[in-house]
Chains A and B, each alone.
Chain A
Amino acid sequence: MSLEFSDKIKKEVLDIIARYPEKKAALLPVLHVAQQEFGFIGEDTERMVAGLLDIKPVQVREVVTFYTMYNRQPVGKYHIQVCSNLTCSLLGAESLIDYLKKKFNIGLGETTEDKKFTISTVECLGACEQAPCMMVNFDYYGDLDEGKIDKILDNLK
């Protein structure tokens, strides 16, 4: 099965590639686009991106496994990433993580059966003044407590 970008996405990707004097430099942004499009970076995606940028698939794998934001397996529609670093922990992140696990009845790194939510922990998100905080896909939510979490997540379609 060979994967391809749609024409619209391909144009976006070509615009990205044009920003750099070397095609290879577009790898990280293009992988983000691919992840948005296909949900995760699988082997097919690795090869397709490698072909697009004139690099070897092994170079793509090297990058995908180095950076934490690239998912090598599919994740739920909403990827809940809770910060477990110092300040958030000082302000109760640990118990919120436990709460989330109980709420959805899954462990860390796991996805709900309806494929809607995945929970992970991440390192510092750079929003320590709103600790404890979490990132759902790309949206930041801070000053959390169990009630707030319920309000935010229950409203997500």
Chain B
Amino acid sequence: MEEKLLTNLFEIKDSFTIDVYLEHDGYKAVEKAFQEMNPESILAEVKNANLRGRGGAGFPAGVKWGFVPKDVDKPKYLCVNADEGEPGTIKDRYIMTHDPHLLLEGIIIASYCVGINTAYIYIRGEYENVALRLEKAIAEANAKGYLGKNILNSGFDCQIYVHRGAGAYICGEETALLESLEGKRGNPRLKPPFPALVGLFQSPTVINNIETLSNVPKIILNGADWFVQTGLPKDGGTRIFGISGMVQKPGIYEMPVGTSLKDIIFKVAGGMKDGKKLKAVIPGGMSAPILTADEVDITMDFDSLAEAKSMLGSAAIIVIDENTPILDVLKKITKFYSHESCGQCTPCRIGTNWINKTVQRIAEGQGKIEDIDNIIRLASNILGKTLCPMGDAAAMPILSIVNKFRQEIESYIGN
């Protein structure tokens, strides 16, 4: 049985309470970090583990922490990205619901490493019940002295606050998250400057995903080498794969990085639902370019999927069956991005809406054959031209579907 690094407590009753957590080596990593290590050795450990971000971009967490300047006379901040808006993604909700203290431990260690005294968990507004559970866990951690002033007599203060979002997918983008945390519209910022230098409230800021931070305690306890042994050499550890759509057993499954997509769909998730045949798979959340049924013999890691011109993203797998018209899939995608565009920059604001209108028109039977090339042209004019990555997140799946399923889409035109 493969070792579960993140989900090992999920099935235990009351796993979210600090008492149960403490019974299972809870907060031992914090104790080790504060009593046997120092910020430099913690950073070295996380860097050596090559812990890659699990929010979507895959940027190594250790490198990110290292970007924050050491001596500044401004307070530093940690923002924990719990916005989880990428369609298909469900994993962070599970961590926060079933093992919030694992997350808190990761936050405390990260904060100690970078010299951060205030951390905000930016949680999407819809996850209100999860936010309440987090707040309870934070209160428990405070009561036991793992948060607050002078943690474990180290002289180091740290506090975590939960900040609720209010319904905007774009706030999962790190600079839009910062804007939203500052009480403004979720408009992504121009980079440079980068958040590590100018982030929240003009101060150096680290932004990490829930799952990324949840990996930190065990890396500290067991060491970087142990982490790298699971998964792949350049891409260690496990991923909590979320799988949904036309499979027998949708849900979350923690597996090593590099697990075969085919295995996840047909072995772990029980194969296709109701005996349907596989048509396509979105491997990493809606922003990941689609894979046809012939392309699912691939390992789930950053490099393999990038080579296949898709992406691992948030490791959220959506399985589509042959009875689903690809136009329906495309419709949902274009509607989503057009709805979630913040509206700041021209290509995304107008382009996503234009493409959506065209696709809806095709779906209503009013399509023209030129529409398909037009969609490709418009999506190409969005790709790489926008202020933030959401433009690419919109353009890439649209292009992949129109290119790979062109014949099927053409069949809807002229009917």
Contacts and interface: CB of A to CB of B under 8 A. Distances in A.
Give the interface size class of chain A. 35 or more
A126 B124 CA distance: 10
Which 9 A/B pairs are nearest by Cβ-Cβ distance? A67-B166, A27-B183, A68-B167, A128-B244, A69-B167, A138-B128, A124-B87, A24-B183, A129-B250
B175 to A, nearest CB: 15
Given A70-B166, A131-B244, A87 B88 contact: yes
Interface in B265-291: 282, 286
B389 interface: no
A84 B339 CA distance: 12
Given A126-B84, A139-B129, 19 more contacts: A21-B201, A28-B164, A28-B183, A31-B166, A32-B166, A55-B183, A67-B165, A87-B245, A90-B324, A122-B126, A123-B87, A124-B86, A124-B169, A124-B286, A125-B126, A126-B93, A127-B90, A128-B242, A131-B250
Interface stretch (B46-54, B218-226, B329-337): B329-337
Interface of A: 19, 21-22, 24-29, 31-32, 53, 55, 59, 62-63, 66-70, 84-87, 89-91, 122-131, 135, 138-140
Contact of A126 (B85, B161, B251, B333): B85
Contacts of A123: 85, 87, 169, 336, 339-340
B186 interface: yes
Nearest to B324: A90
B290 to A, nearest CB: 11
Interface-centre pick from A86, A130, A131 (highest chain B CB count, 10 A): A86
Interface-centre pick from B85, B88, B342 (highest chain A CB count, 10 A): B88
Interface-centre pick from B85, B164, B183 (highest chain A CB count, 10 A): B183
Contacts of B231: none
B180 interface: yes
A8 B128 CA distance: 20
Given A67-B167, A67-B168, A68-B166, A129 B242 contact: yes
A69 B244 contact: no
Contacts of B181: 25
Given A22-B201, A69-B126, A86-B286, A128 B167 contact: no
A138 B133 CA distance: 13
Contacts of A128: 87-90, 242, 244-245, 250, 316, 318
B184 interface: yes
Contacts of B93: 126-127
B160 to A, nearest CB: 10
Nearest to A68: B167
A124 B182 contact: no
Given A87-B87, A128-B244, A128-B316, A63 B184 contact: yes
B245 A90 contact: yes
28 contacts: A19-B161, A22-B182, A24-B184, A27-B184, A28-B164, A28-B165, A28-B180, A32-B164, A63-B184, A66-B185, A67-B125, A68-B167, A70-B166, A85-B336, A86-B87, A86-B333, A87-B87, A87-B245, A89-B328, A90-B245, A122-B126, A123-B85, A123-B87, A123-B340, A126-B126, A127-B90, A129-B252, A140-B129
B412 to A, nearest CB: 17
A129 B249 CA distance: 8
A55 to B, nearest CB: 8
B182 A32 contact: no
A22 B181 CA distance: 10
A22 B182 CA distance: 8
Contacts of B339: 123
A140 B320 CA distance: 24
Nearest to A22: B201
